[in-house]
Structure 1
Amino acid sequence: MSIRVLVADDDALVRAGLTMILGGAKEIEVVGEAENGREACAIVEAAKTTADPIDVVLMDIRMPVLDGIAATAEITARDCAPQVIVLTTFDADDYVVRALASGASGFLLKDTAPADIVAAICRVHEGEPTLSPTVTAQLISKVANGLPNGRENDARRLADDLSDREREVAVAIGAGMSNAEIAAALFMSVATVKAHISRIFTKLDASNRVQVAICMHDAGLL
């Protein structure tokens, strides 16, 4: 079945461009457009009562009536909420942190290649959060710079608890690779990659991929 996508952006040309890009992907169906956050929330809510609810929302940040951050928080707080990818021209640290804190599953810049936007939609639909590599690097820098001295030793100690294979997977996560990309690079199945990631999260006491990336950075492995 197709992944049902809602495009929310106050610029009609951007909406049309995204709809055209996504329309060429056989696994995706654009089922609606919204020109502000309030309209996006209403469309998501209305679709829940049908047989075809929204699966993924591509959400701009700066929109009238209700901005993308507030709309994301409202949408993700509801039961059976769709995944939300914030797609914006702004890559400022505070936007990234606010978007993720509001419940977004991804943060992509609008200059992201069309094929990568399609891939990101597929990944978040499968439950795999995604960030632009530049955004991941910014988050690592922002969070790492705010951590107390001595974090390098703690990170090395945690990294030492990983097996060689787990360390390879963790470094690949830090490089911004998807599960499928890791599987291809390390010659293993996606299911095996997921199993490794589950153990990595446990051993590093991490709850998301960015935290794994930060640990690998602080351990000197990135």
Structure 2
Amino acid sequence: MMSIPVLLITQDDNLWEHWRKINAQSWAPARGHDLSDLDRWRQHGRALVILDRQLPKLPDWDDPQWKKHFHDLQIVIASIRPNDHEASRTFTAGSSGYLHAYSPIPVLESALQSVSAGSVWMGRSLVNRILQEIDRRLKPGQESKAQAWADSLTLREKEVAQRAAVGRSNQEIADELGITERTVRAHMTAIFEKLGVADRLTLALKVHGISAN
């Protein structure tokens, strides 16, 4: 399998040394130093990028130039002080991911894999906030109209899926149902496989009868 080129934009040498530890058999890292490198990357027909949030003079997320960059590049924003508010702003602007700059290498690689496949990568706390907001905005009876999603699930799997879809953590689900967290994880694996979803956000959309397209 050919390695996928990924542009790592940072002026921090320590951060660059951390990022470049990604598996060379899967990824071909190249270093960039500022936003001008995005144009060079685009001209070479490449798209995958991790961008250091701490770059000097980085434009505000409302700046129109982000629309151009996010339109045809898959950019993951990496911050040493990540927070849900900024994450929401970057996603509104069009980013493909948001994570801690010093995330463990397996997490970085998972994010790159997800984004390169066309998905979005975000932290669990933000996912839970979105799930809770989806649940809050549901019209009465909307979920009952979309019960076909549960046809392939056992009763317990349905109970787990419904709770995960409104932002409950594995431990919270375990406490509510009187089972272990390990059992919840096993149920979630089965649910994802049966429903053909890869994450909790997509699961929530399916449970609530909302199109992901």
TM-score, normalised relative to structure 2 = 0.66
- Structure 2 CA distance for aligned equivalents of residues 104 and 203 of structure 1: 25
Unaligned runs of 5+ in 2: 170-184
Match of 1:55 in 2: 47
How many Å apart are 1:156 and its aligned residue?
A: 4.0
Find the counterpart in structure 1 of residue 178 from structure 2: none
Aligned residues: 187
Pair 1:170–1:193, CA change in 2 (3 A): farther
Gaps in structure 1 of 5+ consecutive residues: 209-222
Q: Distance in 2 between matches of 1:185 and 1:202?
A: 16
Decide which moves more: 95-104 or 8-17.
Answer: 8-17
Question: Which residue in the other structure is 2:196 paired with?
Answer: 193
TM-score (norm 1): 0.64
In structure 1, C-alpha distance between the alignment counterparts of 2:90 and 2:97, rounded to whole Å: 8
* Pairs within 5 Å for 1:75-94: 75-77=69-71, 81-94=72-85
Q: 147, 150, 158: which is aligned to 1:163?
A: 150
Seen in structure 2, the aligned counterparts of structure 1 residues 109 and 187 have a Cα distance that, compared at 3 Å, is same
Kept in 2: contact 1:60–1:68 (CA 8 A): no
**8 A Cα contact 1:89 1:110, kept in partner:** yes
Partner amino acid for 1:45?
D
Alpha carbons of 1:202 and 1:156: their partners in 2 closer, same or farther (altered >3 Å)?
A: closer
Letter in 2 for 1:55: A
Paired AA for residue 28 in structure 1: W
**How many Å separate the matches in 2 of 1:108 and 1:4?**
19
- Matching of residues 127-166 of structure 1 within 5 Å: 127-140=118-131, 143=133, 147=136, 151=138, 153-154=140-141, 156-157=143-144, 160-165=147-152
Please give the alpha-carbon distance, in whole angstroms, between the structure 2 residues aligned to 1:161 and 1:203.
Answer: 11
Describe the SS at the equivalent of 2:196.
helix
1:4 matched to 2:11:
no
CA 1:61–1:185: 2 relative to 1, 3 Å: same
For 1:1-222, list aligned pairs within 5 A: 1-19=2-20, 21-22=21-22, 24-34=23-33, 39-40=34-35, 42-50=36-44, 53-67=45-59, 69=61, 70=63, 72-77=66-71, 81-140=72-131, 143=133, 147=136, 151=138, 153-154=140-141, 156-157=143-144, 160-165=147-152, 185-186=189-190, 193=196, 201=206, 204-207=209-212
Greater C-alpha Rg: 2
1:60 deviates by 2.3
Q: CA 1:88 to 1:155, structure 2 compared with 1: closer, same or farther past 3 Å? A: farther
Question: 2:31 is paired with a residue of what secondary structure?
Answer: strand
* % same residue: 15
1:130 positional shift: 1.7
Q: CA deviation at 1:138?
A: 4.1
Residue-by-residue CA offset, 1:169-199 (whole Å, 9 max, x unaligned): 78777689xxxx99x9229879x7259x69x
Q: Deviations over 1:189-213 (max 9, x none)?
A: 79x7259x69x659622437xxxxx
